[in-house]
Structure 1
């Protein structure tokens, strides 16, 4: 017959593990808020970039972060309840949920790291055709291109001359007098794109700054995902210890 143990035997007592896990849950809750905030910020403020990308890796990483953040908020409450009531089934469920969130955040880190490597090549291959074929045709992409040209102070994907062969200029209605879209102008006004002098429009292509912006934000997503996922390891170890400790205790 197995010998049952008291609550305070071995190196870590039940009360000590409960106390540490409550502290962990508070920290985990705050970390979940950070993860959720970064994911939402990416989806809202960087949406204009995603419609110009052919790969879904960038928005997918943000959506997974939002999911992980939402789960973290719920799981921290579940953990507090399980630990407080010393309910072994809840603690076991809590441990598996921590593992799931850990895997989601690792996935974000991996996606961000891999996509960093080829986002610049993807933009070089596809961004110019997106500019030339979608501007004035696709409303969401048109708005995104206008915003990027103004925000990054650039004109065209690679160079401002690219607009000469675009659907916007050559398609109906023809715009023989308009050199570039008005969003290329240093001071935007209706019809300002007729004059392509460097004093009037930006000469730098958008692809360079857009590639740097996407890569920098992928670094943030990867750092948040991989950085915070380390926290779950401590939580899983502590919850497993408490689960085992509660198995044969004597009240």
Structure 2
């Protein structure tokens, strides 16, 4: 097999994988849009909370459609050795690449603004609903457990929250060392637990 034939096969297989991935995402997006209730039953209350803020179905459909078209153009272009299809394929890839670079630059420039906006939006929600709303409590418990962090800005985000008031003015256990039965203000203030904003800011800038 010549080098050109090998590259051709690799490109066909690569774009076939993109095509199948796009088809799968498109199917999931249509499922969420048409029958969101069954989606929420399978994935639980977290999916319900996400669907309240983002129209996940249409978002997934858009991504799936782009990947589907991209995979089709690349696969057919490589198979037929069509310059037109391959130029279209590489043009779309270039546009996506430029959009990602532009998005990264914007994220770096506006990170501090986004942090301020996030703090102003999320902190009141925590103080009002953590310990009262099961969905919000579960989402934040999962976030703090997975990221090993406490609160958006610090442990004081939970001060005067329903959880704080109903549990003898204590904070979530994630804000104190493991094994502590009661996480009070003294212990939470002494322990240097990372705040969740650090992780969220990193994700906003780098996407992971």
TM-score category of the 2 structures, normalised to the smaller one: 0.5 to 0.7
- Structure 2's unaligned 5+ residue stretches are 26-45
* CA distance in 2: counterparts of 1:110 and 1:63, whole angstroms: 23
Task: Give the TM-score normalised by the residue count of structure 2.
Answer: 0.56
Larger relative contact order (CA 8 Å, sep ≥ 6): 1
Q: What are the ranges of 5 or more consecutive residues in structure 1 without an aligned counterpart?
A: 1-15, 41-46, 84-89, 219-251
Tell me, yes or no, if structure 1 residue 144 matches structure 2 residue 139: yes
Across the two proteins, how many residue pairs are aligned to each other?
173
Work out whether 1:161 is the aligned partner of 2:156.
yes
In the alignment, the residues of structure 2 paired with residue 183 and residue 125 of structure 1 have an alpha-carbon distance, to the nearest angstrom, of: 24
Cα distance between partner residues in 2 of 1:207 and 1:64: 29
TM-score w.r.t. the length of structure 1 is 0.49
Alignment partner of 1:126 is 2:118:
yes
Instruction: Considering fraction of residues, name the structure with more helix.
Output: 2
2:76 matched residue in structure 1: 78
**Distance of 1:97 and 1:194 partners within structure 2:** 58
Task: State the shift of 1:78 in Å.
Answer: 0.7
8 Å contact from structure 2 (residues 74, 85) kept in 1: no
Cα distance in 2 for residues equivalent to 1:108 and 1:138: 36
Say whether the 8 Å CA contact 1:186–1:201 is kept in structure 2. yes
How many angstroms apart in 2 are the aligned matches of 1:101 and 1:92?
14
Measure how far apart 1:186 and its partner are: 2.9
Larger gyration radius, structure 1 or structure 2 = 1
Partner Cα separation in structure 1 for residue 182 and residue 190 of structure 2: 8
- Taking only aligned residues, the RMSD between alpha carbons, in angstroms, comes to 4.5
What does residue range 192-207 of structure 1 map to in structure 2 within 5 Å?
A: 192-194=182-184, 196-198=186-188, 203-207=193-197
